[in-house]
Structure 1
Amino acid sequence: MFDVIIIGAGLSGLTTAYKILQKEPSLRLKILEANDTIGGQIASSKLDGELGAKLLKADQAHIYNLFTDLGIHMLRRRPISRNLKRSWAIDSGPFAFIAKFELQRYMNDLDLQSQLFRPGTYDLSSEDKKYTMWRHIRKSLFFENSRLFMINFVRLIAGVDSKDISFVEFMNILHSCGDLTTLMELYIEPSQSVLEFSSEQLLAAFETRLEPVSIKRLTKVIEIQHHEDYVQIGETNGTIHTARVAVLAIPCNQIEDIFITPPIPMEWEIPYLGDKYFITSFRVNYDEPHWRRRGFSGNFYSSNPPIFAHQYKPTSLVGCILHGQGFELLIKSIVLKSLAESFGNEMTEPVSYIQQTYEQTSLLNLPYTTPWNRIIWSSTSTATLYRGCLNGAVQSGLRSAIHALLILRPQSINWQDLAEIQKASVVYRYPSHWDLLKSSMNVYNTMVYSTIAIVVFCVLKNRNKIFN
């Protein structure tokens, strides 16, 4: 019997194992991984090294401290010349400046409002659930380009369509992710405050530190039987593993593929949203930076289909595309065609192209922060700080390690360990009512109010003429 079995060898699962061994090296650990490599979505491609830049910020304390402890070298993002243009769908058209202005005001307003929320304060019993982010975006933004950008951005952040997530739910996600400005820098338009690291170096450091741990690859878990003092975990080939604690370090979407007995409580069930969404990360290498010859920086955004990309190295672009199921074989042609429309036909003939497709993790459900008897949840979707980001995966890994030790070796836990997982990476400021009022004034409602004021003025003026 093992002390701890960790299902999933992604960043959260590896962090869990590392933290447990750091506190209690005598415990017997085993990791079950469905793929033939460890690392999950941060793993490098075997074809051409890094699939994409792995980004974080120095104020994300959990992952920054972990990397410092592991001796991982972090590089600051290369500055991009300010005299070069972006190639964004929202930058085109005669009203591009106004559309970008209203979008910035809208995002500032969401950032301010998210400070007033607390993770877990969901109220879905009445009209809150019906007031979706799609309705809020359509109501708050006037230009179609700015609307499409926010609809795609919500998909990228939450993993669900804007029609399937309420405004209240999205505010809670924003509160635990940091804010929209931070997410913009990490996902779409990296700034000089963003740090990069080598996933190959990180995984090598993990493997060195986790030598005592047995890692079984190509192992698909399909069943978990929960008993009073132990847990039994079944593979597809019929092999049964027994452990005193099981850590599910997999995305919440994948938990529904595992048959758990007795069933998990209803409040922890994943809401059914119908169609699944996928995200494909890609990297395109060229012999020269064709975009620079046309005066562009390499920052690219297409609204239909949703494609986000930016310059990774002088002659390469990395990015992602959001899509439905069954489009994996068409992704390369779609990406190259979109890039060619902005940067020239030379973009259709790259030196090399690699991609990797993942199912998007839905953040709609509440984060599972409390163990269910001897089953502990661990993934970036269960984090309470920078949820959905790399820091969220590390924070949830640290928390699951502490929970496992509280069950197996409670004497090894001190107040500093508990304080570490609760460490606030985000400093929130509480906006005044005047700040909220100013931020809520955008192009859409300004035009509506102005139109009403003009109509009222004309009616009163005509009324005076009639009576005079």
Structure 2
Amino acid sequence: MFDVLIIGAGLSGLTSAYKILKKEPSLTIKILEANNTIGGQIATSKSNEELGGRKLTADQTHIYNLLTEFEVHMKRHLPISKNLKRSWSLDIGNFAFIAKLELQRYMNHLDLRSQLFRPGTYELKSEDRKYTMCHHINDSMLFQNSRKFMKSFVRLVTGVDANDISFVEFMNIVHSCGNLKSLMKLYIEPSNSVFEFSSEQLLGVFLARLEPVSIKRQSKVVEVCHHNDYVEVTETNGSIHCARVVILAIPCNQIEDIFITPPIPLEYEIPYLGDKYYITSFLVEYDEPHWRRGGFSGSFYSADPPIFAQQHKQTSLVGYVMHEHGFELLIRSILLKSLAESFGKEMTEPVKYHQQTFEQISLMNLPCTTPWNRIIWSSTSMATLYRGCLNGAVQSGLRAAVHALLILRPQSVIWQDLAEIQKASVVYRYPSHWDLMKSSWNVYNTAVYSTIALVAFCMLRYRHKIFN
């Protein structure tokens, strides 16, 4: 029997194992990983180390401090010259400037309002669930291009469609993710405030420091049985493992696939998350940067399907495509066709192409921060700071490690361990009523109210002429 059994060798699970081993080297730890590689969504290999590169901002203190402790090299993202254009579907059309202004004001309004929706302080009512983010976007934005971009961004942040998440739930998620401006910098338009690092180097340090830990790969868990003083875990091949504490370091949409007995209490129950979506990361390399001939920076966005790309090196592009299950084999042709339409037919003949598909993490659930007896929840979807980001994975991993130590070795936990979990550079300031009112004015309601005022003015003039 092991002291700690960790299901999932992603960033969260590896962080938990490292923290436990650092505090109590005498504890026995085993990690079960369903895939052949470790790292989860930061997994990399010799052939696709570029896809393993990840981004963060300095205010994400948990991942930043971990990289500093591991002496993993971080470098600032170098923005492309401002003299070059970006190739976005949002930039096309006579009213592109107004559409971009509308999108910017809308995101700023959501960031301000999200401060009022701290998770746990707002009771979600049945009528709130009916008003989805899709409704709010359509009610607040006028241009189709800005609407499509925002709906794609909602799906990128939450892992669910804008039709399947309510406005209140999205506001809760934004509050725990930092803000939309930071997420834009991380996922879509990196600036010089964003740091990049090699996940290959990070995983190498993890493996070196977790040498005493047994990591079993290609071990998919199908059942977890909770007993009074231990937990029994069963794999698909019938292998059974017993441990005094189990850490479920996998996203909520993967917990759905595990049969847990006795049934989880209602307060821990994972909600039905609906259809699952996938992200395919890609690397496309050419013999020369064909996009620069037309004065483009290589920054690319397509709405159907949602494709985001950035120049990685002088002659290569990296990015990702959001899609439903079963489209993995079509991604290459769809991507190259979209790039060719924007940058020329030469884009259909890359010298190197690589892609990797992941199931997208859903954030529809509320974070489970309290263990259920000897089962501890962990993953970026269970974080309370920067959910969905790398920092969220590290923070939830640290919290899971502290919970495991409190069960097994409570005397080893000190107040600094508890303070480390909540440490953050984010300062939440509640907006004033004046700021909220200013931010709520956008192109959509301005156009609607102006039209109403114009119609009323014309009717009054017509009425005045009749009576005179």
**TM bracket (short chain):** over 0.9
Secondary structure at 2:279 match in 1:
strand
Residue equivalent to 1:185? 185
Tell me if 1:161 matches 2:161: yes
Name whichever of 68-77 and 118-127 sits farther off: 118-127
Q: CA deviation at 1:460?
A: 1.8
- For the Cα contact (< 8 Å) 2:52–2:200, is it kept in 1? no
How much does 1:351 deviate?
1.0
Task: For residue 97 of structure 1, give the secondary structure of its aligned residue in structure 2.
Answer: helix
The alpha-carbon deviation at position 273 of structure 1 amounts to: 4.3
Structure 1: distance between partners of 2:462 and 2:357: 63
Question: Where does residue 441 of structure 2 map in the other structure?
Answer: 441
**How do residues 129-168 of structure 1 correspond to structure 2 at under 5 angstroms?**
129-168=129-168
Measure how far apart 1:122 and its partner are. Answer: 5.0
Structure 1 segment 7-406 matched on structure 2, within 5 A? 7-121=7-121, 123-406=123-406
Letter in 2 for 1:78: L
Amino acid at match of 1:84: L
Spell out, residue by residue over 1:322-363, the C-alpha distance to the aligned partner (whole angstroms, 9 max, x if none): 111111100111111111111111111111111111111111
Counterpart-to-counterpart distance in 1, 2:270 and 2:229: 26
Counterpart for residue 457 of structure 1: 457
Distance, in Å, in 1 between the alignment partners of 2:363 and 2:131 is 18
Q: How big is the shift at 1:50? A: 2.5
Distance 1:203 1:168 in 2: 37
| Pair 60,5 (structure 1): closer, same or farther in 2 beyond 3 Å | same
Cα distance in 2 for partners of 1:151, 1:402 equals 37
Distance in 2 between residues matched to 1:84 and 1:174, nearest whole Å: 31
Identity over aligned residues, as a percent?
A: 76
1:430 aligned partner, one-letter code: Y
Q: What RMSD, in angstroms, separates the aligned Cα atoms of the two structures?
A: 1.1
- Kept after mapping to 2: 8 A contact 1:32/1:217: yes
- The residue aligned with 1:428 is 428
State the shift of 1:179 in Å: 0.5
Give the SS at the match of 2:233: strand
The one-letter amino acid of 1:89's match is: S
Pairwise CA distance, 1:429: 2.0
- Aligned partners of 2:188 and 2:174: how far apart in 1? 16
CA apart distance, 1:463: 2.2
One-letter amino acid matched to 2:291: W
> 1:233: how far off?
0.7
Contact 1:55 1:194 in 2 (8 A): yes
Aligned residues of 2:59 and 2:424 also touching (Cα < 8 A): no
Q: Residue 19 of structure 1 aligns to a residue in which SS? A: helix
Q: Is the 1:382–1:396 contact (alpha carbons within 8 Å) kept by the matching residues of 2?
A: yes
Asked whether the 8 Å contact 1:52–1:319 carries over to 2, the reply is: no
Equivalent runs, 1:406-425 vs 2, <5 Å: 406-425=406-425
Residues 385 and 425 of structure 1 are in contact (CA less than 8 Å); yes or no, is this contact kept in structure 2?
no
Query: Shift of the alpha carbon at 1:119?
Result: 2.1
Q: Deviations over 1:402-432 (max 9, x none)?
A: 1000101111111111111011231222211
- CA distance 1:99–1:146, change in 2 (3 Å): same
Q: Is the 8 A contact 1:48 1:354 kept in 2?
A: yes
SS at match of 2:386: coil
The residue type paired with residue 115 of structure 1 is Q
Consecutive unaligned residues in structure 2, runs of 5 or more: none
Distance 1:382 1:12 in 2: 10
State the distance in 2 between where 1:129 and 1:274 align: 14
Q: Compare 98-107 and 259-268 and name the one that shifted more.
A: 259-268
* TM-aligned CA deviation for residue 52 of structure 1: 4.9
SS at match of 2:234: strand
Deviation at 1:290?
Answer: 1.1
Deviations 1:158-203 (A, max 9, x none): 0000010000000000000011100001011111110000111101
Which piece of structure 1 moves more, 79-88 or 272-281? 272-281
Matches of 1:205 and 1:338, distance apart in 2? 38
TM-score by length of 2: 0.98
CA–CA separation in structure 2 for the residues paired with 1:422 and 1:58 = 16
Moved more, 455-464 or 183-192: 455-464
| Shift in Å, 1:369 | 1.0
Cα distance in structure 1, aligned partners of 2:362 and 2:336: 28
Question: 2-side partners of 1:66 and 1:243: how far apart?
Answer: 27
SS at match of 2:116: coil
Cα distance change, pair 52–243 in 1 and its aligned pair in 2 (3 A) = closer
Deviations 1:377-424 (A, max 9, x none): 110000000000000000000000010001011111111111110112
Alignment partners' CA distance in 1, 2:59 and 2:362:
25
TM-score, normalization by structure 1: 0.98
Q: Which moves more between the two structures, 225-234 or 458-467?
A: 458-467
* Cα 1:120/1:348, change in 2 over 3 Å: farther
Q: Deviations over 1:125-150 (max 9, x none)?
A: 32110110000000000000000000
Q: Give the whole-Å Cα distance in 1 for the aligned partners of 2:273 and 2:29.
A: 35
User: Secondary structure at 1:142's aligned position in 2?
Assistant: coil
Show CA shifts across 1:236-293 (max 9, x none): 1211111100000111111111111001123333333442211111111111111112
* 1:467 to partner: Cα distance: 2.5
Once the two structures are overlaid, the 10-residue window that deviates more, 202-211 or 121-130, is: 121-130
CA 1:301/1:200 → structure 2, altered by over 3 Å: closer, same or farther? same
CA distance in 1, matches of 2:43, 2:273: 28
Q: Is the 8 A contact 1:268 1:366 kept in 2?
A: no
Mind listing any 5+ residue stretches in structure 1 that lack a counterpart? none
Tell me the distance in 2 between the aligned counterparts of 1:9 and 1:359: 15
Residue type at the aligned position of 1:40: G
Spell out structure 1 runs of 4+ moving beyond 4 A. none
For 2:432 and 2:223, how far apart are their aligned partners in 1?
51
The alignment partner of 1:36 has SS state of coil
Q: For 1:48 and 1:41, locate their aligned partners in 2 and report how far apart those are by CA, in whole Å.
A: 13
Report how far residue 29 of structure 1 moved: 0.5
